[in-house]
Amino acid sequence: MNIRNFIEEGVWIIHEYQALLAGLVALFAAYVTARPVWRQLDRMSLQTTLMHREFLDERQSTLRARWRRESKKLTSFSDEVKTGIGWTRQYNKEINPHWAFDQEKLTRRLIVELESYRTDNRDPALVEAAIDEVIEALRRLADTMGAIHIPASEDQSGPDHCFSDEEWNDLINRADVAEQELDGLASEVSSAILRFDDVAQEETIRLRDQIKEADDALLSFGHK
């Protein structure tokens, strides 16, 4: 093949496949242009994953610390209540109204602390719901403690109040009923605290699993 024929053959190939060649050239140009964009997207994805990982780690650490602190306090309180109920029933047969008075104050103080905790901190929804259950159980316990000690800590008539005979009898009857309900309510508080423990632990494990997923994602960036 002489040079003339070679040139004619080349022109024919270009003419026949010019659309394909143009497409390949455009594709190569797009690839070269897109490479910096892909690298930029990879860097952005890496930064996002790092930030998400740091957020998860801080959230897990904070939740675990708060959970353990509150759980220790609540469990200690619940144990003291159950021990106090057993002791006062053993020696007095009836609940000591002075003990009930002190326990009502302690319970309401704990409720205020937990409500403040709920306001100042933002935990996962399931943990917040479990704390709300504890607060409600404590509120019922405090009301019952109050009902037990009122006939002993109040007079039927005083400078700022005066109960009728019917109202006074209702208070005495309510105190009797409250004594019967006390053991069950103490168990409700204990169960609510255990529920809070379980939920907080499950959420801590869930966050730990998410951290592991983020670590795996970061590791994959190192292999690109």
Report percent pLDDT > 90 for the chain: 34
This prediction has a pTM of 0.73
Interval 97-129: pLDDT, tens: 889 999 999 999 999 999 987 877 678 889 899
Q: What is the pLDDT of residues 9-49, one digit of tens each?
A: 544 455 555 555 555 555 555 555 545 545 555 566 767 77
**Does the pLDDT value for residue 5 go beyond 60?**
no
158 forms bridges with which residues in the sheet?
Answer: 161
pLDDT, residue 9, reads: 54
Q: Is 163 helix (H, G, I), strand (E, B) or coil?
A: coil
Q: How confident is the model at residue 52 (pLDDT cuts 50, 70, 90)?
A: confident
The helix or strand, by DSSP H or E, that contains position 146, with its residue range, turns out to be helix 125-153
- φ, ψ dihedrals at 162, nearest 5°: -155, 110
- pLDDT recorded at residue 26: 55
The average confidence (pLDDT) of the chain is 80
Domains of the chain: which residue ranges? Answer: 37-222
Phi–psi pair at 158, nearest 5 degrees:
-150, 180
The yes-or-no verdict on residue 3 having pLDDT over 80 is no
CATH topology of domain 37-222: A middle domain of Talin 1 (1.20.1420)
Chain length of the chain? 224
Q: How many CA atoms lie within 13 A of 124 on its CB side?
A: 19
Whole-angstrom distance, CA of residue 139 vs CA of residue 141: 5
